[in-house]
């Protein structure tokens, strides 16, 4: 999607549609008055007819006006002056653009009591991510609307907005990479092919190195969790480590993403319905790698390491059996009480490896870990838990601002009793209750002293319908969250 920034007189900007953000005090807006006059009062009449719900429901309405420079006026009712609100409204504009085949959209950024640089970023991210389409496997492609976005602003904001959109363009491209990876079928994103994709993704980026552990090295270094989960597949497991280290003598932040490329449940197989969409179980890995890709392309002054264990959890004669005991990377013995609680096994290995070898500033893991989190929080809020309140609070605040919402779940110590094993140190499931928290408590067993946060994205990594900036399918949730976290950390 092309973008342009201009300080030209808005009424002279050539586009298929002009878009106005309208607040409750719109009658004081000189810009609104100009467009209302062009419409012969129809815009004001439309808002009056819709009443309070125009603002309270974040409504977006379009009016055909047929002026020489533009044919449509689109008005967006702003309920709350918030980054996420502007992004969501812009995503709704993308839907109108698709319906009406509008190729060029101009956003008139004026008379809004909100930082214009952030408003422009939210606008661009909303319309770009809201207009995303995945058509890799379609013979007849519908295309993407709009093709061009114009931000019309004041002269003194023009350069700052251009710089901000260059940054947003990189972040959005990273979100789209994550979405593409999760949307494609598992046969095209298996542990071997996905590890190679990540290697190629970073090959021309400054200060980045990529290392891939194959099955022999995983065996040699005793990644017991990764090996146990991957045993059932003919395609061997991999572990990818991407290091972006522009600074000397600085601890790295470590991002870890669950990469179960397909999850059939192992020998304790999922149901037909439960297995149907399990290509998405590598969303954590896709998001983590995409976030580091954006950070590295932006050349932010921070050290970042991403780790993604990649496996397929399939049943076969070689698959790990219920009741087996495995030795993890840090030496802990785990009883496999259920083969479909596999994500925590590969994440635990990666966490233990990071603690022992990488001296992290902090560890953040993202995983489509538990169906229990979906039941508890639905499909718009991710679960967050960890051992560091400051990290959790910072991530929650960022999530609230950008619309990638988080809710803290307690790592209730009493529940640790539920993962005690009669024959090993711990087991990988509890009694069926508090499933999301049990997953977090299991992972905590592999964190010794590092500040650590676990984010369960099982509910938010995929949507069955269009929801604002998230078109149907993979959402790429977490990419923007991690990038904004790093930007805040280095301020």
Q: Which residue has the tokens 């932040």?
A: 253
Residue 24: pLDDT band with limits 50, 70, 90? very high
Do 190 and 113 have their domain in common? no
Do 216 and 144 have their domain in common? no
Indicate the DSSP class of residue 470: B
Residue 203: pLDDT band with limits 50, 70, 90? very high
For residue 110, give its domain range. 2-157
Q: Which of 157, 188, 217 is the last residue of a domain?
A: 157
Each residue of 244-273: pLDDT tens digit?
A: 999 999 999 999 999 999 999 999 999 999
For residue 246, the tally of other CB atoms under 10 A from its CB is 16
Residue 380 has pLDDT above 90, yes or no: yes
Residue 111: pLDDT band with limits 50, 70, 90? confident
Q: Which of 128, 157, 186 is the last residue of a domain?
A: 157
Each residue of 336-352: pLDDT tens digit?
A: 999 999 999 999 999 99
Provide the CATH number for the domain around residue 298: 3.40.630.10
**Is residue 365 included in any domain, yes or no?**
yes
Do 217 and 93 have their domain in common? no
The stretch 10-24 carries a mean pLDDT of 96
**Is residue 205 included in any domain, yes or no?**
yes
CA pair distance 167, 286, nearest whole angstrom:
20
Q: What is the pLDDT of residue 409?
A: 98
Structure tokens of 249? Answer: 């003598």
- Strands 2-6 and 148-152, by their bridges, are parallel
The stretch 42-62 carries a mean pLDDT of 94
Residue with the bigger pLDDT between 112 and 315: it is 315
For residue 40, the tally of other CB atoms under 10 A from its CB is 10
Do 81 and 142 have their domain in common? yes
**Is residue 425 included in any domain, yes or no?**
yes
Q: Calculate ∠ Cα 162-167-173, nearest 5°.
A: 120
**Is residue 167 included in any domain, yes or no?**
no
For residue 154, the tally of other CB atoms under 10 A from its CB is 11
Q: What total number of domains does the chain contain?
A: 2
Structure tokens of 100? Answer: 């009406």
pTM tops 0.95, yes or no: yes
**In the chain, what percentage of residues exceed pLDDT 90?**
98
Provide the CATH number for the domain around residue 40: 3.40.220.10
In three-state secondary structure terms, 257 is strand
Distance (Å) of CA 238 to CA 172, 195, 310: 27, 7, 5
Q: What is the pLDDT of residue 348?
A: 98
Entry field: residues in the chain: 491
CA pair distance 58, 78, nearest whole angstrom:
6
Do 261 and 190 have their domain in common? yes
CA pair distance 138, 140, nearest whole angstrom:
5
327, burial (CB in 10 Å: exposed 0-12, middle 13-18, buried 19+) = middle
Cβ-Cβ contacts under 8 Å for 103 (sequence gap 6 or more): 16, 97, 145, 146, 147, 148
**Is residue 164 included in any domain, yes or no?**
no
Do 135 and 255 have their domain in common? no
Distance (Å) of CA 429 to CA 9, 49, 350, 422: 63, 56, 19, 13
Do 152 and 187 have their domain in common? no
The stretch 134-150 carries a mean pLDDT of 95
**Is residue 401 included in any domain, yes or no?**
yes
Do 240 and 128 have their domain in common? no
Residue 105: pLDDT band with limits 50, 70, 90? very high
Q: Which of 122, 157, 192 is the last residue of a domain?
A: 157
Nearest to 109 by CA among 22, 169, 46: 22
The stretch 206-214 carries a mean pLDDT of 98
Catalytic residue list: 270, 344
Q: What is the mean pLDDT of the chain?
A: 97
Residue 491: pLDDT band with limits 50, 70, 90? confident
Do 351 and 470 have their domain in common? yes
CA pair distance 193, 211, nearest whole angstrom:
14
Do 25 and 69 have their domain in common? yes
The stretch 347-368 carries a mean pLDDT of 98
Do 116 and 197 have their domain in common? no
Structure tokens of 320? Answer: 């790990």
Chain centre to alpha carbon of residue 359: 26
Do 120 and 237 have their domain in common? no
**Is residue 193 included in any domain, yes or no?**
yes
**Is residue 166 included in any domain, yes or no?**
no
Nearest to 321 by CA among 236, 425, 229, 223: 229
Residue 209 has pLDDT above 90, yes or no: yes
């Amino acid at each position: 999607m092309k973008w342009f920034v201009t300080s030209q007189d808005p009424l002279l900007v050539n586009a298929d549609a002009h878009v106005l953000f309208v607040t409750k005090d719109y009658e004081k807006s000189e810009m609104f008055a100009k467009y209302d006059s062009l419409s012969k009062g129809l815009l004001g009449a439309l808002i009056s007819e819709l009443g309070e719900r125009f603002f309270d429901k974040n409504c977006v309405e379009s009016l055909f006006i047929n002026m020489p420079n533009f044919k449509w006026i689109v008005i967006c009712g702003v309920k709350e002056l918030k980054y996420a609100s502007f992004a969501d409204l812009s995503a709704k504009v993308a839907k109108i653009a698709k319906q009406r085949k509008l190729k060029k959209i101009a956003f008139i950024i004026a008379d809004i009591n909100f930082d214009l640089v952030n408003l422009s970023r939210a606008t661009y991210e909303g319309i770009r991510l809201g207009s995303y389409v995945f058509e890799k496997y379609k013979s007849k492609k519908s295309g993407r609307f709009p093709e061009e976005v114009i931000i019309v602003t004041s002269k003194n904001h023009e350069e700052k907005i251009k710089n901000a959109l260059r940054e947003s363009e990189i972040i959005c491209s990273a979100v789209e990479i994550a979405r593409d990876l999760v949307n494609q079928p598992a046969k095209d994103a298996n542990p071997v092919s996905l590890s190679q994709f990540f290697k190629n993704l970073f090959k021309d980026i400054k200060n980045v190195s990529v290392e891939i552990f194959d099955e022999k090295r995983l065996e040699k270094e005793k990644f017991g969790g990764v090996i146990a989960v991957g045993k059932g597949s003919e395609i061997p497991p991999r572990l990818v480590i991407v290091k972006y280290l522009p600074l000397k003598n600085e601890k790295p932040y470590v991002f870890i993403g669950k990469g179960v490329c397909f999850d059939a449940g192992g020998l304790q197989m999922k149901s037909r319905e439960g297995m149907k969409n399990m290509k998405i179980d590598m969303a954590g890995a896709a998001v983590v790698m995409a976030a580091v890709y954006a950070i590295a392309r932006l050349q932010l002054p921070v050290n970042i390491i991403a780790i993604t264990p990649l496996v397929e959890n399939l049943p076969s004669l070689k698959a790990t059996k219920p009741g087996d005991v495995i030795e993890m990377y840090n030496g802990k013995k785990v009883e496999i009480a259920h083969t479909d609680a596999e994500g925590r096994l590969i994440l635990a290995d990666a966490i233990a490896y990071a603690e022992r070898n990488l001296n992290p500033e902090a560890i953040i893991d993202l995983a489509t870990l538990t169906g229990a989190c979906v039941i508890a929080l639905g499909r718009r809020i991710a679960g967050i838990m960890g051992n560091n309140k400051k990290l959790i609070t910072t991530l929650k605040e960022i999530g609230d601002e950008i619309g990638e919402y988080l809710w803290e779940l307690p790592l209730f110590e009493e529940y640790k009793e539920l993962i005690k094993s009669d024959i090993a140190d711990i087991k990988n499931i509890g009694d069926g209750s508090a499933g999301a928290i049990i997953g977090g408590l299991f992972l905590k067993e592999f964190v010794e002293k590092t500040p650590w946060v676990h984010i369960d994205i099982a509910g938010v990594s995929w949507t069955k319908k269009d929801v604002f900036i998230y078109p149907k399918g993979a959402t790429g949730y977490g990419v923007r969250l991690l990038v904004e976290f790093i930007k805040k950390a280095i301020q």
